[in-house]
Every structure is written in C-alpha cells, then in structure tokens.
Structure 1
Amino acid sequence: MDTLLSDSVERLFAQISTPAAIRAIENGSSPEAMWSEIDKSGFLDALVPESLDGAGLALAQVFPMFLSAGRHAVPLPFAQTMLARAWLASAGVAPPSGPISITGMGVRSDKGAIDIDALPFGLVSAWVLADLGGQVALLPQADASSVSTHGRGGLSASLRWETWPSTGIKMPASISGNARLDEMAAASYAALMAGAADRVLAMTLDYANQRSQFGKHIGKFQAIQNQISIMAERTWAARMAAQLACQSTDWIPRPSLAALGKARSSEAAGLIADIAHAVHGAIGVTDDYDLQLYTRRLRVWRLCAGAESYWTGRIGAQLMGQPQTSALAFICGQLSMETEPREG
C-alpha cells in the first residue's frame, strides 16, 4: 500500500507542482487549477472512514503522501486538508470543498473578532480549522481580512474576522475525541520538512558532483564532503522523526511522538538549508534557481505549529510531571512508537 500510494502521489505532484507552477501561485496566480487536480485524485479523503466514503487509512499509511507534498513544495495545504477532513468527519460535520488550513495556536478571540497570526497557507486556503480554546471553529477565509507574512512569495497570512462569519461553524473541542489541532499540525509539518529536506539534499549532491573548481568537482573536496555528510545525517534524522510523528494506527497523531517529530525536524531544518546554500554558493540565493523554493519552506515550516523549543518544552514538561519515572524509562515507554498509550 505504501509503495502504491507514494508512486501515485509522486506522479501527481511531479506533474502539477512544478517550479513554474509554484512561482506562479507565489506571485498571485489562482491555485484553483492545481487544487482541482488534487481534489480529483481522491487522496484528500484517505483518512476519512470507509463508512463515510473515505479510504479509512491510518496516519502511518499516508505518511509517504505527506512526504511527497514536502518534496515537491506543494503550495497548498494538502496534508492539513487531509487531517482536517478526518477531524470533521469524526465530529459528524461534512467537510467543505476547498483547501483547509489547521492552527492550534496563535488564535485570539475578543469581543466577537477573531485573529490568527501568521497562518501557514493562509493566502491559499478556503477554510481554517482553528482552536479557540475549548471550542474548534471552521472559518471561511473569504470573510477575513488578510495580511501576507514571511516576506516575498510567502503563502502565510495573518487573518482577522471582525464579526462571526455566517458560514462559520463552532464545535466543542472534545467532539472529535482526543485529537488536538496543534498535534495534528505538528505531525503534518514534520513530514513536509522531511520531504523538502530530501529534495534539498538531492539538489545539493547533484550540484556538488557537477560544479568544478581547480580542475575537479567540488564534491571531491574534503570540506564539502564533510558539510554534505552532516546535511545527510540531519535529513535522515528528520525523516525518521517525521515518520515517528505519523506513526499511528488511526488518523490521530500520538501526542508525544508528534512533539518529538516536530522538534527534531524543526531542529534540522535550518542547518540543512544553511549547508545547502553554503555548498551552492552565490547561485543558491538567486530567484531563478529552484533551491530557494525548498529552503524557504524549510525555514517557514520550522516555525509553523511551534518551533523545536516549544515542542521540546512539551516533552520536558511531560517528563517532569512523572517524578518517579527515569529519563530512560520515559524515552522507552512514552516515546516509543509501539508502547505509547493513548490519552483520554
């Protein structure tokens, strides 16, 4: 199943999420054509139960799909929409059409107005699934004012609804069991970073084996080899951590593993981007060269749903809350893909 999914999604994203298509959307072109192809593929309901016309797959089974979205820098919330549709289905709410962003933090509600800071994919989402604290809201992006964040070409935006939108829906946070939006977002961005890191490593290896200096390829210089070896280590560490974050037998991420995966992937993202640009030299920072399409996303996704300091703090607080448990026992028991118990 994993091979079938990964091959199918790779073919789809290779066709529709090309560097030219990514640049066009970043420059303001409509993402509707790309989203239509994704929607027609049927992948968006992979986590929805079969009883509701979905595929009923587990999060671990769709991990290759998330990874592929990151590898191809898909400029739409593909992974987040899949998780949001699963959340809504479990809550008994018919998922709306269009891309859905997820946010479990950075939301403020005051006197009827709702503000969301630096929402990933905020400029290209039709809906936002947001944690209001005790309640979860499904909000239409079209009814909000938006301000682009993360600089030129960024697809994140700060959104504000002055009043409650007529098509918005409020639901108790507990209606979908123990699924938390921040953990769902963390698992998805961990996988996206792992995919983007994989692409950046491949591009860096290709460049090092093609670029010549002093009569030989720069990949033969020991200093370059040392940098690339560190980059490869961080890339595979991020991939293993992201796989842990998505290691669940249902669609809901396991809390500790989501925290671990996001922390480790975020920690690796900046270094991977730095080394890639160091090896590429001046060419790597130019707009015309594709590397920046992926390294920019590594830096943005590192912060999405909380950076490494936030999630390591969550893990540390969990350990400190168990004074009778040693650090080794905590790691083996709470951070194991096989033994972590469900909360609730």
Structure 2
Amino acid sequence: MDLLGPFERLLDAHAPDALGSALDAAGYLDLLVPGTGPGLEEAPPVLRALGRRAIDLPVAEAMAARATAAAPSDSALADQALLAVLAANEIAGGGEALLDMCLAHANTRRQFGRAIGQFQAVQHQLAQLAEQVVLVRVAAEAACRAGPLPPVPLAAMAKTVASAAVPVMTGIAHAVHGAIGITRDFPLHRITGQLHRLRMTAGSESFWAERLGTARLAAAGAGEPGASLGFVRAVLGG
C-alpha cells in the first residue's frame, strides 16, 4: 500500500477539513497499532520517513484514539498506569522546585528585622513541605524501579501519594511567599498551576485510590490479619 505518495500530495492542501478527510482516505490515521510491548507502534515504518509537519489538525490524537479503541480495557489501564507514573515523577520534580524557591525566599525576605525563615511558624511550614516532597519522590522512585511497565497497584500508589500532596505543597508555597506568589512576573504560580494540572493528569488521587483498594480486595487473604502488610510488601517488591 502506497501511503507516502498520497500524503506528499496532501501537504499543499489548504482547507483543514479537506486535509483531514484526505488523510483518513489515504489510511494515514490508521498507521498506529497496539504494540507488542507498552504503548503503540507503527504498522509500516512510514511515520519517521515523513517527519513532523505543522498541521492545524488533531492528527496525533486521532491516530492514537483509533489505535487504542480496539485495545482491551486492561491494556488501556496499563497505558494509563504508565502515564500516572510519569505524572507522579513530574509532581516530584515540581515539589522539589517549590521547596528550593521557598527556602530561598524565606532566607532573603526580611520582616521585623530578620529573615522570615527564622520564625518558628515558617520553619514549621517549610518542614511540612520538605516532608511532602520526600514522600512524593520516594513513591515515584518506587514505581520507576518496576521498569517500563509498572504494575497497576504500584502506579496507583505513586499517583495517589503524588496527587494528594499537590494541594499541601502548593498551599504552603503560596503561604510562605505571600501575595508576590500570584503576580504575573513571579514564577511561583506557573509551577503551582502546573502541579494542579498534573494532579488530575492520568487520574486523580481518588481515581487511583479506588484502583488500589480494588487490587487489595482482590488479593489473596483479603480478610486475614496482616494481609494488608503482605499486600504492600508484594506491591513494593519487598
């Protein structure tokens, strides 16, 4: 099947609707298929040959949607688990950035003749922030140790912990910075805004907490004493 020829002729098209219909007719939107490993792969090796092209159409989204529409639900959940682990790692990095910014601000911003970081209340908030940052990082790293195909319970643990930490971390960061944190020129709100978006990406904490609870109830010995500890050890690979 000649896919390159029809597509090359389409690059000069101007109307997005006509281009989308022509791409569909040429079979270009069906080039992605469920892969033998995680994610999607090309049916013929044509995508890399074409390279990237600025087209004002949701081409990639349409290709991915078609490729995953026929995939079984457990495969879709496995892909979502991988995205959840990636989001958890982004939250971990964002939390560390917040901690660095808060420490720098607390050591330089002076009030009543001394740095605000010397006040016990601020120190307590910074300690809480550091606690959440470490918690998210440990959870994200634990999920990454499982390799490129994290088990759903492990991904659920990482994303539940990471998403639940977002409102705590962002709230403390804005409390430490005060009003300057929401000004346009100050970068804090860009990080906190992205963290709130990542909180919902690939499932919120409530979504993954439900999956984690379902996996726990489905595990062996659901009603036995100490079974939950055994489940946690099994999930963490210990």
Whether the TM-score (by the shorter chain) exceeds 0.5 is: yes
Instruction: Report the CA distance between 1:177 and its aligned residue.
Output: 6.9
On the 8 A contact 1:98/1:127 being kept in 2, the answer is: no
Distance in 1 between the 2:89 and 2:107 partners?
A: 28
What is aligned with 2:7? none
What is aligned with 2:129? 231
2:169 maps to 1:272:
yes
What is aligned with 1:290? 187
What is aligned with 1:314? 211
Instruction: Report the CA distance between 1:243 and its aligned residue.
Output: 1.3
Alpha carbons of 1:220 and 1:306: their partners in 2 closer, same or farther (altered >3 Å)?
Answer: same
2:54 maps to 1:128:
no
2:68 maps to 1:138:
no
> Which structure has greater helix proportion?
2
Does the residue aligned with 2:164 lie in a helix, a strand or coil?
helix
2:75 maps to 1:181:
no
Superposition TM-score, scaled by structure 1 size: 0.50
What is aligned with 1:32? none
Alpha carbons of 1:215 and 1:258: their partners in 2 closer, same or farther (altered >3 Å)?
Answer: same
Distance in 1 between the 2:140 and 2:217 partners?
A: 24
More relative contact order, 1 or 2 (CA 8 Å, 6+ apart): 2
Does the residue aligned with 1:138 lie in a helix, a strand or coil?
helix
Distance in 2 between the 1:190 and 1:288 partners?
A: 27
2:13 maps to 1:87:
no
Distance in 2 between the 1:330 and 1:124 partners?
A: 46
Does the residue aligned with 2:39 lie in a helix, a strand or coil?
helix
Instruction: Report the CA distance between 1:245 and its aligned residue.
Output: 2.2
Deviations 1:97-118 (A, max 9, x none): 569xxxxxxxxxxxxxxxxxxx
Alpha carbons of 1:125 and 1:195: their partners in 2 closer, same or farther (altered >3 Å)?
Answer: farther
What is aligned with 1:328? 229
Alpha carbons of 1:93 and 1:305: their partners in 2 closer, same or farther (altered >3 Å)?
Answer: farther
What is aligned with 1:103? none
Does the residue aligned with 2:197 lie in a helix, a strand or coil?
helix
Larger Rg: 2
> Which structure has greater strand proportion?
1
On the 8 A contact 1:184/1:253 being kept in 2, the answer is: yes
Deviations 1:232-290 (A, max 9, x none): 000111111111222223x2222111111000000111110000000000100111100
What is aligned with 2:20? none
Runs of 5+ unmatched residues, structure 2: 1-36
CA RMSD in angstroms comes to 3.0
Return 214-223 or 182-191, whichever deviates more: 182-191
Instruction: Report the CA distance between 1:87 and its aligned residue.
Output: 1.8
2:90 maps to 1:195:
no
Does the residue aligned with 1:204 lie in a helix, a strand or coil?
helix
On the 8 A contact 1:179/1:253 being kept in 2, the answer is: no
Distance in 2 between the 1:232 and 1:301 partners?
A: 19
Alpha carbons of 1:332 and 1:93: their partners in 2 closer, same or farther (altered >3 Å)?
Answer: farther
Deviations 1:53-107 (A, max 9, x none): xxxxxxxxxxxxxxxxxxxxxxxxxxxxxxxx96223x756566569xxxxxxxx
Does the residue aligned with 1:206 lie in a helix, a strand or coil?
helix
Distance in 1 between the 2:99 and 2:58 partners?
A: 29
Superposition TM-score, scaled by structure 2 size: 0.71
Task: State the percentage of identical aligned residues.
Answer: 32
What is aligned with 1:301? 198
Code of the residue aligned with 2:40 in structure 1: it is: L
Does the residue aligned with 1:205 lie in a helix, a strand or coil?
helix
Distance in 2 between the 1:221 and 1:93 partners?
A: 63
On the 8 A contact 2:163/2:205 being kept in 1, the answer is: yes
On the 8 A contact 1:98/1:125 being kept in 2, the answer is: no
Runs of 5+ unmatched residues, structure 1: 1-84, 100-122, 130-136, 140-167, 340-344
1:1-344 alignment runs, 5 A limit: 87-89=39-41, 94=45, 127-128=60-61, 138-139=64-65, 169=67, 172-173=70-71, 180-249=78-147, 251-322=148-219, 324-325=221-222, 326-333=227-234, 335-336=235-236, 338=237
